Structure 1
Amino acid sequence: MKLTKTGEGVLRKFDMDEIMNCMHCGFCLPACPTFRQTGLESYGPRGRIALMKGVANEKLSIDHEFEKNMFACLGCRACETACPAGVAYGSLIETARVVIEENKKSQAKPPLARKIAFEHLFPHPKRMEWMGTVLWAAQAAGLQNLASKTGLIKVLPRPLAEMQEAVETVASPKERKKRQLKMNAEKEKLFTVGLFTGCVMDVMFYETNQATARLLTKAGCDVVFVENQSCCGALHAHSGEMNGAKGLAKRNIEAFEKANVDFVVNNAGGCGAALKEYHHWFHDEPEWKERAMAFVEKMRDANELLAELPPLSFTKPMNVRITYQDSCHLAHGQGIRNQPRELIRSIPGAQYVELHQADSCCGSAGIYNMTNYDMSMQILDDKMEDVKKTKAHLIVTSNPGCLLQMKQGIIRTGMQDKIEAIHIMDLLARAL
């Protein structure tokens, strides 16, 4: 794959001021999971920024090696936390991937699977719901267990074959039909909030969304399941499909504008980071940037808002040892670290133990555990060694991808009888 655009055209894509802000000091390297695994400069933030600079100045080609280095990045943004110069690495890596994908599209049609996923599946909530129904039917018919027991599951690529073991029973169509589009506060109403349900979140973790809504009603909020919302666009943005991401952002902005709620609440760290950065996506569309900023001002992570509301009244002591794995995009992207821990500590009987390097990526990173399986599992196995040392009964996280990854980690280490992975909203609901 050769550089087909002019250097000037590529240069305009990159924020050269941001690239030049990198002092090449190396503070980012110990924080970077892929650099820690490989020791390769091109697998660290500093090296990747140097490669971006070379491409932007037309000294390097947009070739396979450049693509490999850019997509080997987890996008965890731990380097942003470590960086003394405050380099916005997250936006730089997204730009690099946009440049790569635009260059590839100028030479050949994108793979069919990619086109289906980004254009015909994730942007369409009804189709995602249908996929959930298919998965539920397969589980209800025992096909998932049968495939595992007979070995038929091995016909799938290894990442999918192992991941399916971590997938729990999804909600039935009958259960989904019971959802009330509005749930009223159980005491004096303080706010009306719109719950951002997400795409994968509402398919595979429907009960977690319902638990989040119940917690918010107990804390004094009317909760609205806003209609016509869509995928947040994070997966598109991280994969170089920025036009698709912006289209999804516009749909969500319009949907929540019409809902006229006090806050927009989400319970997925990865989605939340994207939702809170919508205004950065529209630097070339002033009208949409203004509307996006108004949307962002209303955005709250569920942990963030619950920590601000009157304390929940827990009635069920949980005499268990609990540890917490930070969602990268919640901790590094949104700066939300203390609130989840405070909520866990507020549960009667809970013994909280801090996880070593809790804010180091678990290796999930959207679809990274499928596109970069070996690296993802190396990172996960290291994480599970730290989890073992906590001797916790529960490992809690705040992102669906992290939750599936931790469930997979538990299976890989054979600890199914010793520890359970759970979303923090499900944990809090259980304590109620």
Structure 2
Amino acid sequence: MSTTNERQQELAIDMKAGMDYDELMNCMRCGFCLPSCPTYRESGGNEAASPRGRIALMKAVVDGIMEPDEDFEKQLSLCLGCRACEPACPSGVKYGHLLEAARDIIQKKKKHSLPVRMVRSLVFNQLFPKPNRMRTVSSLLWFYQKTGIQKIAQATHLTKIAPGNLSIMEKVLPQVPSPSQLKNRPTHVAAEGKVKQKVAFFSGCLMDTMFMDTNDATLFILSKSNCEIVIPEKQNCCGALHAHSGEKDGAKALAKENILAFENVKADFIVSNAGGCGALLVEYGHLLKDDPEWAERAKVFSARVKDISEILLAVGMPKMVLDEQIVTYQDSCHLRNVMGTFSAPRRLLQQIEGVTFTEMKDADRCCGSAGVYNIIEQEMSMQILDVKMEQAKATKARTLVTANPGCLLQMKLGIERAGLQKDVRAVHIVDLLAEAVKKGE
């Protein structure tokens, strides 16, 4: 049985072999990344909690100057992975790639307790890569919501047994579709008029179960905008949760499944309506760059991926109308920082009659959701969220819009924590656009 010191030595060897040293050396330590980093700001300017500091820690381990101890792992875990540092970096350092590589190497050497191993295996191996099991879990949640069990649990405060903010998170979950709805998913949707674009839709795992209504709204507005839509049946989870959690092998396996599902589909683009999913889809080329069989195929796949807002802006939306209201927008970090999409959602919102669009201060800064970050790093997540809600309140917006399911739940959680349920709603941009199109008709 290896000692802690032996495991650290093995981890240091693997870090030296597996990290991109040229990318580590690209960091000039100029500090342009510091103001963009949420954990650096919220920690009161702790250098180790910054992108520059974390790169320095990684390099120190690779150079053999320091041991990859518990504090080292803690700082990498504390990072949101929002990648706001990348657009700010004059050297173009791909910090996200370094972070994912380091987390993957750490996880391969990590000695988790039995309960943690079981949970990770359940989530990463038995649930998210298995569409049928995702539908089963969603059906159980539907049963919980529709039979009155949820209301009883909330009324009797049983939900408060859940640790931290999980009881509030349970409260803000969307209404899950029925088992029959989950089974009867379309594979093709015709354009309402003359076809402007033919697109292949990446439906995702959570998006096509828990957030299925948003996927339906996506198909509706694409059709109304004269796009023909193909939805490949064999597609799977994008693998983002795996890639960000040190399960890169699982992410690669899912990437290959999705490339196979889409590569023979004749379509102009592959459309994503979730910022987190789209950001990994456009990086399949990097994820599989060392695999001779898949590297080129992954590049071709990634080049076809577009966010829904870019497509809708290009083809043109039908008339959109809403009751007069102030609307603000919270960027999905990965949609903005990885996919480079930030003006299209705003321009679409500004096209809606009755809407006054008000830009939120620091709308491009992370909301603190970051996949499962708001569960595993709850204290830091809530610090970031509370600041975000103050900024949202300052806009006096009735509707808070975002473009990623995790961000949407985090915004709803923030509304609950701030006691703004009667004054503010949080919606996915696709749902708001669909609402505006229907009212415009």
- Alignment match, 1:127: 133
Find the counterpart in structure 1 of residue 238 from structure 2: 232
Please list the CA deviations of residues 337-380 of structure 1 after superposition, one character each: whole Å capped at 9, or x if unmatched: 10000000011111100000000000000110011111101100
Shift of 1:8: 4.8
Mapping for residues 213-224 of structure 1, pairs under 5 Å: 213-224=219-230
1:390 matched residue in structure 2: 395
Residue 407, structure 1, aligned to residue 412, structure 2: yes
Match of 2:18 in 1: 13
Is 1:35 aligned to residue 40 of structure 2? yes
Alpha-carbon offset, residue 106 of structure 1: 10
Structure 1: gaps (5+ residues): none
Instruction: Give the superposition deviation at 1:214.
Output: 1.0
Secondary structure of the 2:198 match is strand
Instruction: Report the Cα distance in structure 2 between the residues aligned to 1:28 and 1:269, rounded to whole angstroms.
Output: 22
- 2:410 aligns to what SS in structure 1? helix
Q: What is the TM-score when the length of structure 2 is the normalising length?
A: 0.95
2:368 paired residue number: 363
Aligned to 2:201: 195
What is the CA–CA distance in structure 2 between the aligned matches of 1:90 and 1:188, rounded to whole Å? 41
TM-score (norm 1): 0.96
**2:235 partner SS:** coil
Cα pair distance change 1:96/1:223, threshold 3 Å: same
Range with greater deviation from structure 2 (343-352 or 252-261): 252-261
Matched residues, percent identical?
49
Change in 2 beyond 3 A, CA 1:376/1:12? same
- 1:62 maps onto 2:73 in alignment: no
How far residue 198 of structure 1 moved from its aligned partner, in angstroms, is: 1.0
Q: CA deviation at 1:258?
A: 3.5
Structure 2 vs 1, CA of residues 109 and 362 (structure 1 numbering), >3 Å: closer, same or farther?
Answer: closer
Runs ≥4 residues deviating over 6 A: 106-110
Matching residue's letter, 2:75: N
- Aligned counterparts, 1:242-321, within 5 A: 242-309=248-315, 311-321=316-326
TM-superposed CA distance for 1:315, in Å, is 4.8
- 1:316 is displaced (CA, Å) by 3.1
- 1:408 counterpart letter in structure 2: L
SS of the equivalent of 2:8 reads: coil
Query: SS of the residue aligned with 1:58?
Result: coil
Aligned letter for 2:326? R
**Relative to 1, partners in 2 of residues 1:207 and 1:52: Cα closer, same or farther, differing over 3 Å?**
same
Matches within 5 A, 1:102-251: 102-104=108-110, 111-251=117-257
Give the whole-Å Cα distance in 2 for the aligned partners of 1:61 and 1:303: 45
Residues 309-348 of structure 1 correspond to what in structure 2 (within 5 A)? 309=315, 311-348=316-353
**Residues 104, 110 of structure 1: 8 Å contact kept:** no
- CA deviation string 1:309-354 (max 9, x = no partner): 1x21125343111000000001111111100000000111111000
Give 1:241 shift: 0.6
Does structure 1 retain, via aligned residues, the 8 Å contact 2:320–2:433? Answer: no
Indicate the SS of the match to 1:320. Answer: strand
Name whichever of 273-282 and 39-48 sits farther off.
39-48
Secondary structure of the 1:197 match is coil
Contact 1:318 1:431 in 2 (8 A): no
Q: Where does residue 375 of structure 1 map in the other structure?
A: 380
Aligned equivalent of 2:27:
22
Q: Gaps spanning 5+ residues in structure 2: where?
A: none
- The whole-number CA distance in structure 2 between the counterparts of 1:320 and 1:176 is 33
**Cα separation, 1, equivalents of 2:115 and 2:410:** 32
Counterpart position of 1:354: 359
* CA RMSD, 1 decimal: 1.6
Residue pair 2:35, 2:41 contacting (<8 A) in 1 also = yes
Determine whether 1:88 maps to 2:94: yes
Report the 3-state secondary structure (helix = DSSP H, G, I; strand = E; otherwise coil) of the residue aligned with 1:111: helix
8 Å CA contact 2:189–2:223 kept in 1: the answer is yes
CA contact (8 A) 2:135 2:182 kept: no
Distance 1:106 1:130, change over 3 A: closer
